[in-house]
Structure 1
Amino acid sequence: MKTGVKSKSVDSPSRRKVIKSLGTIALGSTLQFKSPYVFAQNRTTLRVLGTHVTLQETLRQKAMADLGINLVFEPRGSAAVLQKASVNPGSFDLYEQWSNSIRPLWASGSIQAIDKKRLIYWDEINSLTKTGKIAPDAKLGAGDAPYKILHIQPDGSLGTTHTDKISFLPYVHNVDSFGYNNQVIAKGTPYVTESWGWLLNAKYRGKVGIINDPTIGLFDLALAAQAENLVTFADIGALTKTDLDNLFKVLIDLKRQNHFSGFWNSVPESVDFMRTKRVVIESMFSPAVSTLNGLGMPVTFAAPKEGYRGWHGVMCLSSATQGKVMDAAYDYMNWWLSGWPGAFIARQGYYIANPQRSAKFLSPGEWNYWYEGLPAEKDLFGTDEKISVKQGDIRTGGSYTKRFSNVAVWNSAMATYDYSLQKWYEFISS
């Protein structure tokens, strides 16, 4: 057809009839399928940035079914999660990680205050994050115990005076230490012989793994170096520049002797380190131990005599979250404390901030093993539906109360945070 010449077929009766027929079919199709498609398109989408610890597919599917929202999970290694959240709050709606990330996120303006009045189960949250102690005789632990950074003060700082605004939702938490292959390393006695110092013992040279996170791995190694009397600190939760210089001088020397086999970035990678026998001892989180036990690997999660490294999960609102997405975010936060999620993560060895609500979703045997520190009445299954606890086993470290009464230091972002980052990356690249 030449330019400017009108096609005779464009307005022909037969063509108009065909178009009308197609339009009628299309309209019928639209009417027939409108409801589900429109509903799906109108569901609020909530983007959650976090780690593999809580961003699991089973949890995503259950939350979407219960809440009627779309959930997009973006799991990354802990250091990568913090870096992204700090520089790009528009890339996520909710942030899930650990309390050591709160100070950097709050300082960067990446997160906004959470309205305590919109948290349905706030009154059920136990004393660990509200006062710092799970029991009257419990150790507070050095560093940023979560209660110190939970409440937003009138001047915008983070502090201990209770207000209606908080920096994070307290939910999942645990104590961490290290795991070891007890076919290679003889089982120690919890709180008596098991020691952070084992990570730096020359007997395991070349078979040691450490988490690659400057606010977590740093404390694992500081606890280990202090246990071995290689360095001493006045306050392990507030290391000075001199402390860091002394510590990393020792660590870099050990690295050059090939003491460390590798530095893992995620829970699955830590599982691979142990499963492939690349390491016999390493920094470890509870789900990794459960997974390995489910695979038949004889890995013990230590209860160090020096005390645990404690952490508390934080769920934070991006400073860019608003409107319907914010409403969905509060729904999701409340869902996490509604019972079922807490029971689910108990089966991978984690605790929830209001445990009594989750008790009815656990069998008495599960509750007794995971929370009370009693022998397993029968084999127990992990979240992967594999046996992770054998009948008769007792959880290393004992009950919830005993474990959280023995925290040596909390994951923390210290006053020397920027300098510690510099020293950490110098160590990793040495």
Structure 2
Amino acid sequence: MGFAASTLPFPAIISARDAQPVVRVIGTHVTLQEPLRLRAERDLGIKLEFSPGGSAQVLLKASTRPQDFEIYEQWSNSIRVLWQSRAIKPIDARRIRYWDELNPLSKTGRLSAEDTIGAGDAPNRILYAQPDGSLDETPREEISYLPYVHNADSIGYNPQQVDEGEPYREESWGWLLAPEHAGRVAIVNAPAIGIFDLALAARAQGLMEFADIGAMSREEIDTLFRHMLRYKKAGHFRGFWNSVPHSAALMLSGDVVVQSMFSPGVSIVRSGGMPCLYAAPREGYRGWHGTMCLSRHASGEREAAAYEYMNWWLSGWPGAFIARQGYYISNPQRSRPYMSEAEWDYWYAGKPAREALRGPDGKITVQVGEQRRGGSYEKRFANISVWNTVMPNFDLTLQHWNELVVA
């Protein structure tokens, strides 16, 4: 199977009498990449303005200034903040061309009925907009976000500095707090995400337990951060990173040997010539689901263009592009013709690479014979411990997080 033709099944929306519609998109470096912008502009006949930033930075901007964007791209933990601030409005699923192709993960919280749904905000729990203004899993035609990219996050480590562990048996979130890595550990600087990395590490190290790790009590949050402040003041953490390029730079510099990581960061490190493994923790992954949201100010031509951009993301080519940095798309079968058989077998099926594979930047990131850590798409999402979530006690989390970062 080779690469499919690039022609998309819908026409460009520009008309001869109008200037190109402009769609302003804010989000993170994960999806706001120049090759994606250029390809979408070419395919759709619209103008895209990408404004990438750190996750906490762009969430604050989106929740306070919805007039500054049409589309917001981030992760499932952003939804409750955006919805409660009324920064976004419901998306009409009837205008999503490939809605019926989306797999069960976003609609039911799991790929298989036998899988356990992880703690916290599984994607289905915040997908459907109800008449009373709430979000839950009861299917309706109005949705809070468009499900698209997603992944199972864990820790990245340098096997030249950290003994390689066996996936699902030895690799552990506890490595973030292991004394042998003191001074060479980094954590993502996003309180709604980083708190789970630290909580999973604390639990793995036997420091504490949680009644419900996806909805921690105020007492549990207080206790967790007391432990983390002790580590921070002892110099255990080398830093807190704000973006994917920042995380890769920390690893490439040699200052960090194990850290919170997103898959594109691992890809950048490997492209830079340094080995980096993406762990399959025995405690399970921290899952996240990409959320593409529509500003409540979007209207007219810009809103129509925004819908075409959302449809474009599910049209095949973007899903294949994003797979090369380790991400999945909600309707993968449409992307499969845009991937070689070797790419599909490695990224989705979890099989050994039959040839060297290139990342989105064109550089080789996977060597012949290498196998994706954690196995297939189905196996990885059968092992979700907790989903990215803004918990009810987020105000306390935020207060403690700021104290931790500056301590």
Task: Place the TM-score, normalised by the shorter chain, in its bin.
Answer: over 0.9
**2:11 paired residue number:** none
* SS at structure 2 position matched to 1:392: coil
* SS at structure 1 position matched to 2:338: coil
**2:244 paired residue number:** 267
**1:239 paired residue number:** 216
* SS at structure 2 position matched to 1:383: coil
**Separation of aligned partners in 2, 1:82 and 1:41:** 32
* SS at structure 2 position matched to 1:320: coil
**1:281 paired residue number:** 258
* AA partner of residue 405 (structure 2): I
**1:298 paired residue number:** 275
**2:4 paired residue number:** none
**1:109 paired residue number:** 86
**1:125 paired residue number:** 102
- Say whether 1:358 aligns with 2:335: yes
**2:366 paired residue number:** 389
* SS at structure 2 position matched to 1:360: helix
- Say whether 1:190 aligns with 2:167: yes
> How much has 1:39 moved relative to structure 2?
6.3
- Say whether 1:72 aligns with 2:49: yes
- Say whether 1:411 aligns with 2:388: yes
**1:211-226 equivalences in 2 (<5 Å):** 211-226=188-203
* SS at structure 2 position matched to 1:316: strand
**1:13-32 equivalences in 2 (<5 Å):** none
**Separation of aligned partners in 1, 2:62 and 2:137:** 25
**Separation of aligned partners in 1, 2:93 and 2:19:** 28
**Separation of aligned partners in 1, 2:201 and 2:280:** 13
**Separation of aligned partners in 1, 2:216 and 2:161:** 34
**1:89 paired residue number:** 66
> How much has 1:231 moved relative to structure 2?
1.3
> How much has 1:40 moved relative to structure 2?
10
**2:313 paired residue number:** 336
**2:356 paired residue number:** 379
* AA partner of residue 68 (structure 1): G
**1:348 paired residue number:** 325
**Separation of aligned partners in 2, 1:39 and 1:293:** 45
**2:288 paired residue number:** 311
* AA partner of residue 62 (structure 1): R
* AA partner of residue 248 (structure 2): V
Cα deviation digits, residues 350-373 of structure 1 (max 9, x gap)? 000000000000001100000000
**1:53 paired residue number:** 30
**Separation of aligned partners in 1, 2:396 and 2:176:** 24
Gap change, CA 1:118 and 1:41, over 3 Å in 2: closer
* AA partner of residue 142 (structure 2): K
**Separation of aligned partners in 2, 1:101 and 1:402:** 26
Cα deviation digits, residues 262-321 of structure 1 (max 9, x gap)? 000000000100000110001001011112112221110000000000000000000111
**Separation of aligned partners in 2, 1:228 and 1:135:** 31
* AA partner of residue 99 (structure 2): W
Unpaired runs of 5+ in structure 2?
1-14
Gap change, CA 1:403 and 1:40, over 3 Å in 2: farther
**1:28 paired residue number:** none
* AA partner of residue 403 (structure 2): E
**2:10 paired residue number:** none
> How much has 1:400 moved relative to structure 2?
0.2
* AA partner of residue 112 (structure 2): A
* SS at structure 2 position matched to 1:188: coil
**Separation of aligned partners in 2, 1:115 and 1:39:** 27
- Say whether 1:175 aligns with 2:152: yes
> How much has 1:136 moved relative to structure 2?
2.1
* AA partner of residue 167 (structure 1): S
Q: CA RMSD in A?
A: 1.0
Gap change, CA 1:367 and 1:40, over 3 Å in 2: farther
- Say whether 1:166 aligns with 2:143: yes
* SS at structure 1 position matched to 2:207: coil
Residue 127 of structure 2, aligned match among 150, 158, 161 = 150
- Say whether 1:199 aligns with 2:176: yes
Identity, in percent, stands at 56
Per the normalisation by structure 2, the TM-score is 0.95
* AA partner of residue 304 (structure 1): P
> How much has 1:197 moved relative to structure 2?
0.3
> How much has 1:132 moved relative to structure 2?
0.9
Number of aligned residues: 393
* AA partner of residue 297 (structure 2): A
> How much has 1:210 moved relative to structure 2?
0.4
* SS at structure 1 position matched to 2:230: helix
**Separation of aligned partners in 2, 1:130 and 1:100:** 16
Per the normalisation by structure 1, the TM-score is 0.90
